Structure 1
């Protein structure tokens, strides 16, 4: 299994939407996909699961608050209280009572699974921050803390024999994201063509290099054989431009101005070399799909699966078909990048 973290230091660029649709499309292309929600905001989990399923996973007990009508059966949910979230998995570590509590991921559909997120994960930030310096001196408890996400991902992937893990990561450079990104083999960066995304790239590149250097040089040598640890590669795969609401073939001048700077900033800040090596790191530019997103949200399905019964009528159905082709092309290019990485 190879893991891909979707991350940018700038929020609001469509990262979770991209993760959600990539997961479905990669599964559609025949791959076994594990989606892992490592963002305490848990938006990816909310996209996959409805409120009844969330109440089971988060053990809020909403089902028991409503009396059952005569003959009414409890809903058959894909998730149950034994599924476990990322927060419940690391709870023993947070409380100082043990190690990662492994559990089966939630089955979304045949070939697609989810390790659900939880707002309670934000409480793990302080524990991870305190463990980082102690990891440098080989403290075993600290190493179990800093490798918790990695071990959780590996265990969940092995339970379902996943080919690809997609990690949804929040938009900051804190301790949770450091542990999440260290657990990733590769990093895909969604961004908008604007000043804020470029600023995010300038912050992200040095942070990844610093974390990689410290982990590989100062930490890995201290990890005992009984604690599985990530190599800390975090190899940049490239970036996906999420376009604002405008025609793809006629971007406005302001948009084009920032779009032209993205390859330069990516090469300098993320790859740390001058642009012009002849290789493009732009994997795709995704158009704005206008009215598809609210329809998809109401139908609880990907935009490219919308049908007339979901409200995708007339020209909207043409946009649905275009969306399908765009995500299919993006997924195929991503798979090619991953194959190239394996052969290097």
Structure 2
């Protein structure tokens, strides 16, 4: 049985996606889940959050390109005559590990695009499917190494071939959004894209009657959205936030394939599809980056004193509530 894959996806950047994956991976780990985080964004920002700069330099060195330190190094033999490599799973804590990203991954995009068409052929399907499912194969291999309960995936903000392969490897999708016009447009683009990828992957799977190895289902089921980084005055969202926030429930309902739009609530706070709202923790963010730890792990020695200490506790509760809700939704779907 495969390990469930949870991907955070919006084709609009700047919605706090990588920060969400980073903090929730730590929180799931705190709550007793064994987590494998996988960085499928060629910008590799999630990897940079987990791994110190000196180690990153060694991982991405030309001298290590034939090894298995990154997702790209594991899938790149497919570009020649080789096969997938099992990943080096980098331990972050006893219950959290990461498969590192790689800026070179962008070079795999063209290969994925070509094999997507070849997967519709009637013969010689082993190689196209091996390439298209490479991310899923590597992630599942890594998850088994650490006996992971869940795989969490960060992807880039686009609708290209890398993200298509990441999404066909995905069971559940969480959509981070910001309350602005551009984020809503990104959300609007997701509905037809996810539906099309799901349908096209199903057609390809059905065309390979007897697969030579296990294939992902490509369910990519949206389980909710998270509203990111709104400003507040006296505990209430500022006016600009409210204007765009009111439109999020309806746009998400379309993305999730919900047809009863007349009954959609007018704000995320009333919407059962809203998993939570993550505040902008402002000065805690650079403090956490300097300490190389999640916001809710900051200590007085890191500078979290006075009002900062109270904000740390609030962050802990917010992320804990968010993590627990996501777990309940996934476990409910798995039954």
TM-score by length of 1: 0.90
Q: How does 1:128-143 map to 2 (within 5 A)?
A: 128-138=112-122, 139-143=125-129
Matched positions, count:
325
Cα distance, 1:223 vs structure 2: 6.0
1:118 matched to which residue of 2? 102
Q: How does 1:254-293 map to 2 (within 5 A)?
A: 254-275=240-261, 276=263, 280-293=272-285
Cα separation, 1, equivalents of 2:32 and 2:281: 25
The Cα offsets for residues 160-193 of structure 1, whole Å up to 9 and x where unpaired, read as 1100110001000000000001101110001101
- Runs (4+) off by over 4 Å: none
SS in 2 for 1:323: helix
8 Å contact 2:171–2:221 — kept in the other structure? yes
Q: Is the counterpart of residue 39 in structure 1 residue 41 in structure 2?
A: yes
Stretches of structure 1 lacking an aligned partner (at least 5 in a row): 63-80
TM-score by length of 2: 0.92
SS in 2 for 1:151: helix
Cα distance, 1:272 vs structure 2: 4.5
1:314 matched to which residue of 2? 306
From the superposition, tell whether residues 211 and 128 of structure 1 become closer, same or farther in structure 2 (CA, over 3 Å): same
8 Å contact 1:223–1:229 — kept in the other structure? no
2:72 matched to which residue of 1? 87
Q: How does 1:2-151 map to 2 (within 5 A)?
A: 2-59=4-61, 84-94=69-79, 96-138=80-122, 139-151=125-137
8 Å contact 1:13–1:190 — kept in the other structure? yes
Coordinate RMSD, CA, aligned: 1.9
Q: How does 1:140-289 map to 2 (within 5 A)?
A: 140-222=126-208, 224-247=210-233, 249-275=235-261, 276=263, 280-289=272-281
After TM superposition, the structure 1 stretch with the greater mean CA deviation from structure 2, 264-273 or 164-173, is 264-273
1:66 matched to which residue of 2? none
Cα separation, 2, equivalents of 1:222 and 1:111: 37
The Cα offsets for residues 299-332 of structure 1, whole Å up to 9 and x where unpaired, read as 0000000111111121111100100000000000
Cα separation, 2, equivalents of 1:135 and 1:114: 30
SS in 2 for 1:225: coil
8 Å contact 1:37–1:116 — kept in the other structure? yes
